[in-house]
Structure 1
Amino acid sequence: MPSRKTLLLVGTVLLIGAGGGAYFLHSPAPSHAAEPAAPPLVPVTAAHVHKGDVPIVLEGLGTVTPINTATIRTQVQGTLESVNFVEGKDVKRGDELAKIDPRVFEAQVDQAEAALARDQAGLKNAQANFARTQPLAARGFATQQLLDTQDSQVAQGKGTVELDKAALEAAQTQLSYTTITAPFNGITGIRHIDPGNIVHPTDATGLVILTQMQPISIIFTLPSTDIPNVQKAIASGEASVDAYDAANTHKLDHGSLMLIDNQVDASTGTVRLKASFPNEKKNLWPGSFVNIHLTIAIRHDAVTVPLTAVQQGPSGTFVYVVDANHVVNAREIKAGQSREDKVLIDQGLSGDETVVTAGQYRLKPGTSVEVVPDNRKDVVQNATTASAGMLP
């Protein structure tokens, strides 16, 4: 007969087995492994490829240069009697700018006129004597020597009169120099001398500098390799020029190309060109630096994309194209000119695609993207923020 201790041990084992069976009967069945979640969409901004007319533009740096500029000097010595222009104001050709005391030159004119009158009277007398002697000599009442002498006196008198006329003309010219006039339309600068001073033709500064403002020219430079294209544009009549300020942001005037210089600067490999501008608003000021945009052709049905869409990869230039399923693919392109934040695409796009403009940092071919509107573009991550430690 089993002992009491043995019976207690057997009972304990049975209780543990019953509890374990109850646990397995009531425990839930094991679940299947969870399927991996789809990767989140990468936020990007995008733009439609633009197709239309695109001007082909060459850009260069130029200097505003007056077509006409002159330092106004006196041509005779004398006392500056009056200054008849206002500094910085427009003057017309022929307007009186200054006056020099004319009395000395008026006296010289009077002397020349008197000498001319005297010698004209002498010539008249010599001609009268010769006229009286001619018939007498024909009848033998006057010698041939007397006739020749009087003929010589007439010729000498004519020469003297001509000399007097030239002297009178010179004196009148000197007198005209006492009135200083504008040689062309322009704007006066700062006056260099005041009335009452003695002025000389050799004065270095002159009276004032006169500058023509309308029209005005700009001389600018381009690489010599652009000469053939510019020549074609001139021949076809498509060449046109726009002048922009030094910051290259504000258009100042529109003009036309005048010429290409006849020599290339061998030290820089550039050539100078000259363009003319009407300058109606006087935005172009002599001596200032400007940026020149020379249009040499118009390319029709050209494809352009925003500058930020173009990327550089190991195999060259490419863009990310978004398809109808919002999946991106890399498209190799051949880029042309870049200006005004637009890039001309010579090859690789047809014009009906959508390209990624920001957020390319996290993309690769086959990535699904979410094109966000402009008001949410702050959620787009790019390489700049990544390099600053803001992206994982």
Structure 2
Amino acid sequence: MRLPDVTALLRRRHLALGAALLVALLLAMLFHGVSRGDAQPSAAPPPVPVVTTRVEQRDVPHWRSGVGTVQSLQSTVLRPQVDGVLTEVLFEEGQKVRKGQLLARIDDRAIRAGLGGAQAALVRDRATLDAARSDLSRLQHLSSDQLVSRQMLEQQAATVQQLQATGRGNQAAVDAAQVQLSYTRIVAPMDGRIGLRQVDPGNLVRASDTQGLVTVQQTDPISVVFALPQDALPQLRQALAAGGAQVQALDREGGQLLAEGTLQVIDNQVDEASGTVRLRARFSNASDQLWPGQLVSVRVRTGQSTGALVLDAAAIQRGVQGSFVYRVVADGSVESLPVTVGEQDGGQVVVQGELRVGDVVVSDGQSRLRPGTVVAEAKPAAAPAAVRRGAAP
């Protein structure tokens, strides 16, 4: 049996391996050439659309905010001061009244009768007193001629004094009856607004009744009582000493201004439980924007930042290192700048840092930004054609 030629076998394997390597090399060169021919330079990403705002410089007031309750400066429950039948009601519920205006009457016939009797007794006693004084005068003349005894003179003088005392008592009775008669006319004790009537005409009312006839509340001017943290006390006292701090009353949501007034009183103690101090502000209320018992938002002006740098509050971003903004630089890209946030006035906020007046910062679209990102001002969305023409949608 012949053994295979080992040398020839090795030669054939070397030739096959070389051919495979040559084919692989040719394929690699061909693929590299195709790749080089098809490759295109990568395009730059498009600018990110954003909304921008500019840094401005102006005076910014300092405000402290709280929640308050509208309270009447004066509130009175009208109660009867004499017993009697309520004969007449001369007001409408909710009506505005003036001080001294007649509101109701109580039956006064019995009191007038008592007053008439007291006046008659006073007239009678005055006539008796006049007669006694005349007798005393005659006795004094006769006494000088020693025609009457000293005892008679002293008795007549005592009679005159007694009648004088009786007259003063009758005058007091007349005055008391006149006071009682005045109580049958119920008048408004101040300018204000009438509440809901509690008693109808024809009912018997008594001075001991606790319910009262009606309530009158002063509504112009009016006050708001509210509380602020005790750390605002130094600024509040300084503002009050300077003539009164400006106070604004707004609706519950804090959007609509209802009235403007001034701070009047700071309570004489801090509430230990809440760490707040109560305050009272006074407002003109001719248009009845404020109503007793109403809850309102309150803003008190405690100072002012002069010549401060301000921008839209929406431009402020919060990060791990603190607050920052994206400022647009000359090449259209953005850079991140740290800022210190101060007082806020409406939708704008005071900032400190490297910003300058006129700098352009991003106020919307920051979520897609990184330092170096190129941005472009977003165009406002066009209104629908029907809306532009004023037609109903």
TM-score scaled to structure 2, two decimals?
A: 0.84
The offset of 1:142, in angstroms, is: 2.6
CA contact (8 A) 2:315 2:325 kept: yes
Cross-structure match for 2:204: 198
Asked if structure 2 preserves the Cα contact closer than 8 Å seen for 1:56 and 1:297, the reply is yes
Q: Does 1:293 align with 2:299?
A: yes
Q: Name the counterpart of 1:132.
A: 138
Residues 1:249 and 2:251 aligned together = no
Percent identical pairs in the alignment equals 39
Say yes or no: does 1:116 pair with 2:122: yes
2:78 aligned partner: 72
Gaps of 5+ in 2: 1-25, 383-393
Task: Describe how 1:134-149 pairs up with structure 2 within 5 A.
Answer: 134-149=140-155
| 2:118 alignment partner AA | A
* Secondary structure, counterpart of 2:208 in structure 1: coil
Matched residues in 1 for 2:342 and 2:266: separation? 25
1:340 aligns with 2:332: no
| Distance verdict in 2 for CA 1:218–1:29, change over 3 Å | closer
**Whole-Å separation in 2 of the counterparts to 1:42 and 1:28:** 35
Partner in structure 1 of residue 103 of structure 2: 97
**Contact 1:238–1:295 (CA under 8 A) maintained in structure 2:** no
Contact map agreement 1:133 1:142 (CA 8 A) in 2: yes
Tell me how far apart the structure 2 counterparts of residues 238 and 44 of structure 1 sit (CA, whole Å): 44
Q: Distance in 1 between matches of 2:149 and 2:337?
A: 115
Equivalent residue runs for 1:98-247 within 5 Å = 98-237=104-243, 239-247=245-253
1:374 match: secondary structure: coil
C-alpha spacing 1:323/1:109, structure 2 compared with 1 (3 Å): same
Q: Secondary structure at the match of 2:361?
A: strand
Distance in 2 between residues matched to 1:237 and 1:101, nearest whole Å: 51
Count how many residue pairs are aligned between Structure 1 and Structure 2.
355
Flag structure 1 segments of 5+ consecutive residues without an equivalent. Answer: 1-19, 377-392
Q: 1:310 aligns with which of 312, 316, 321?
A: 316
What is aligned with 1:325? 331
Q: Structure 1's 68 and 29: CA in aligned 2 closer, same or farther, altered over 3 A?
A: closer
Deviation per CA, 1:327-369: give whole Å up to 9, x if none. 2222111111234222222454332211111222232323322
Relative to structure 2, which stretch is displaced further, 194-203 or 119-128?
A: 119-128
The separation in 2 between residues aligned to 1:266 and 1:124, in whole angstroms, is 72
Q: Is the Cα–Cα contact under 8 Å of residues 337 and 344 in structure 1 kept in the other structure?
A: yes
1:301/1:30 CA distance change after superposition, 3 Å: closer
**Contact map agreement 2:97 2:192 (CA 8 A) in 1:** yes
Is residue 334–residue 348 contact of structure 1 (8 Å, CA) maintained in 2?
no
Following superposition, the deviation at residue 115 of structure 1 comes to 1.5
Q: Is the CA contact (8 Å cut-off) linking 2:62 and 2:303 kept in structure 1? A: yes
1:40 is displaced (CA, Å) by: 3.6
Partners in 2 of 1:238 and 1:304 — Cα distance? Answer: 27
Displacement, 1:148? 2.4
Give the structure 1 partner of residue 385 of structure 2.
none
Shift of 1:254: 1.5
1:95–1:182 CA contact under 8 A, matched in 2: yes
In the TM superposition, residue 173 of structure 1 has moved relative to its aligned partner by 0.7
Partner of 1:362: 368
Alpha-carbon contact 1:80-1:195 (below 8 Å) kept:
yes
Q: Is the 8 A contact 2:240 2:264 kept in 1?
A: no
Q: How does 1:2-13 map to 2 (within 5 A)?
A: none
Residues 1:46 and 2:52 aligned together: yes
C-alpha distance in 2 between matches for 1:201 and 1:323: 82
The secondary structure found in structure 1 opposite 2:249 is strand
| Equivalence for 1:59 | 65
Q: TM-score, normalised by structure 1?
A: 0.84
- CA distance in 1 between counterparts of 2:243 and 2:121 reads 62
Letter in 2 for 1:179: R
What code does the residue aligned with 1:251 have?
A: L
Change beyond 3 A, Cα 1:151–1:307: same
Distance in structure 2 (CA, Å) of the matches to 1:98 and 1:145: 58
Shift of 1:34: 5.1
| Displacement of 1:33 | 6.7
Is the contact made by 1:44 and 1:359 (CA closer than 8 Å) also made in structure 2? yes
Native 8 Å contact 2:313 2:348 kept in 1: yes
Question: Does the CA contact (< 8 Å) of 1:45 and 1:374 recur in 2?
Answer: no
> 1:270 is matched by which residue type in structure 2?
T
Pairwise CA RMSD of aligned residues?
A: 2.5
Aligned residue type for 2:108:
P
Runs of 4+ that moved beyond 6 A:
none
Output the CA distance in 2 between the equivalents of 1:156 and 1:137.
Answer: 21
- Shift of residue 80 of structure 1? 0.9
AA of the residue aligned to 2:197: R
Aligned partner of 1:95: which letter?
Answer: Q
Does the 8 A contact of 2:61 with 2:345 survive in 1? Answer: no
Distance 1:101 1:32, change over 3 A: closer
- Paired with 1:297 and 1:278, the residues of 2 have a C-alpha distance of 23
Quick check: 260-269 or 150-159, which moved more?
A: 150-159
